[in-house]
Amino acid sequence: MSEDLQPLSPEEGVDMFLEHRKPSVRESSMQNARHRLSVFLEWCDEEEVDNLNDLTGRDLSLFVSWRQGDVAPITLQKQLSSVRMALRWWADIEAVEDGLAEKLHAPELPDGAQSRDVFLEAGRAKQILRYLDRHHYASRDHALIALIWRTGLRRGAVRALDVGDLDEEDQAIRVEHRPETDTPLKNGDDGSRWVYLGPRWFQILDDFVNNPDRNDVVDDHGRRPLFTTQQSTRPTGHSIYKWLMRALHPCAYAECPHDRTPDECEARGKNAKLAECPSARSPHAVRRGAITNHLNEETAPETVSERMDVSLSVLYEHYDARTEREKMAVRRQDIPE
């Protein structure tokens, strides 16, 4: 670390950068930058990086590896672009080494990187849920998979949920933007909404709340998180990523289709690389599968758009994984015989 650098925490650095950018960009751009840099802050927190001065090219490589596999390649490119821009500004104010931004390398985009091919298929989702219904009812994994499959919530929205957001009368759950207590939503106040669950799905979550294996805790802001960790805290987005990825490995609910055993598989065990399983699916892939399933079940795209907090244009470009024949099968319901 150069002696010329001035100490600056990641949180303060992000706040200063966003304040610098605010007068020159639209609010939507600010929201995007805020979300993308929140992922960087999450990594800094997990790696106990408390001074931007200490960042090295190797650290940035570890950050890319940590984030890769969790989002689509094109999304990763955009997120790293925002971090790179912040690094250049931090270099100008002597918080990081000059040229550090150029050491943040995004993986090359493969052909068809914007495709919607990677998603959780409906048949597989139903198989997993049947297994959990029978063998691990109202467990954390059961509640988590059921919730995301039913609602298509993003990880940030899942971690933002409190026990009090469940509404038994309407069989629904409230998703709310609460940045002042450390649970912002990607689209800010525009992402706040009620989401209908229905009796079966609501019951799973309600029974999960009362599961004696669940840590019922109050966070630093006096709120009761719906999902909690073994350390009795609200989980990070990365914790949710790891829980879901591990629970969706085929060997967790059936036989391994890749002729591996848990002892020899890099995707299992204490220091597992979860994405090494060829059948691994991230929370984003579950969200994409949930959206596709809603569309295949003839839910109106406008309803899916509002329910999943995604614009119609983005829905069709990035989330609709239906085949052309599946789209035709849905359309034909509206065509007279």
- DSSP string covering 299-323: --HHHHHHHHT--HHHIIIII----
Last residue of a domain, one of 40, 69, 103: 103
| 146 and 187 part of one domain | yes
Is 45 a domain residue?
yes
CA distance 272 to 245: 11
Q: Which amino acid is at 12?
A: E
Is 159 a domain residue?
yes
Is 307 a domain residue?
no
The dihedral of CA 126, 132, 133, 135: what is its sign? positive
The whole-number average pLDDT for the span 249-269 is 88
| CB-count exposure of residue 117 (10 Å: 0-12, 13-18, 19+) | exposed
Is 195 a domain residue?
yes
Q: Is the pLDDT of residue 329 over 60?
A: yes
Last residue of a domain, one of 240, 262, 284: 262
| 92 and 200 part of one domain | no
Q: Which two tokens stand for residue 138?
A: 């109202």
Last residue of a domain, one of 262, 293, 318: 262
Contact (Cβ atoms closer than 8 angstroms) between residue 297 and residue 329: no
| 137 and 39 part of one domain | no
| 170 and 255 part of one domain | yes
pTM (2 d.p.): 0.69
Q: Which two tokens stand for residue 268?
A: 């299992």
CATH of residue 68's domain is: 1.10.150.130
| 92 and 135 part of one domain | no
Residue 216: other Cβ atoms inside 10 A: 13
Q: 187: pLDDT confidence band, cut at 50, 70 and 90?
A: confident
Is 33 a domain residue?
yes
Which residue is it, tokens 């599961």?
Answer: 211
| 92 and 131 part of one domain | no
Lowest mean pLDDT among 7-11, 157-161, 273-277, 308-312: 273-277
190-210 pLDDT, tens digit per residue, is: 999 999 999 999 999 999 999
Q: Which two tokens stand for residue 169?
A: 């009368």
In terms of pLDDT, which residue wins out, 117 or 256? Answer: 256
Predicted confidence at residue 105, as pLDDT, reads: 85
215-237 pLDDT, tens digit per residue, is: 999 999 999 999 999 888 899 88
- β-pair partners for 162: 225
Is 115 a domain residue?
no
| 41 and 138 part of one domain | no
Predicted confidence at residue 112, as pLDDT, reads: 40
Predicted confidence at residue 117, as pLDDT, reads: 63
140: nearest Cα among 92, 212, 79: 212
Query: Number of folded domains in the chain?
Result: 2
Q: Is the pLDDT of residue 3 over 80?
A: no
| 155 and 99 part of one domain | no
| 16 and 69 part of one domain | yes
Which residue is it, tokens 């912040």?
Answer: 86
Q: 115: pLDDT confidence band, cut at 50, 70 and 90?
A: very low
Is 50 a domain residue?
yes
153-179 pLDDT, tens digit per residue, is: 999 999 999 999 999 999 999 999 999
Q: What is the dihedral of CA 14, 15, 21, 26, to 10 degrees?
A: 100
The whole-number average pLDDT for the span 5-20 is 94
| 160 and 257 part of one domain | yes
- Please tell me the number of Cα atoms within 13 Å of 21 on its side-chain side: 23
| 72 and 174 part of one domain | no
Q: Residues 6 or more apart from 23 whose CB is under 8 A from it?
A: none
Q: What are phi and psi of 65, to 5 degrees?
A: -60, -40
Q: What is the DSSP-derived secondary structure letter of residue 95?
A: S
| 99 and 146 part of one domain | no
| CB-count exposure of residue 131 (10 Å: 0-12, 13-18, 19+) | middle
CATH of residue 248's domain is: 1.10.443.10
Kindly list the distances between the CA atom of residue 265 and the CA atoms of 39, 75, 104, 128, 282, in Å, as whole numbers in the listed order.
28, 28, 30, 20, 18
Range of the domain at 90: 10-103
CA distance 201 to 81: 38
37: nearest Cα among 19, 58, 56, 57: 19
Is 270 a domain residue?
no
Residue 61: other Cβ atoms inside 10 A: 13
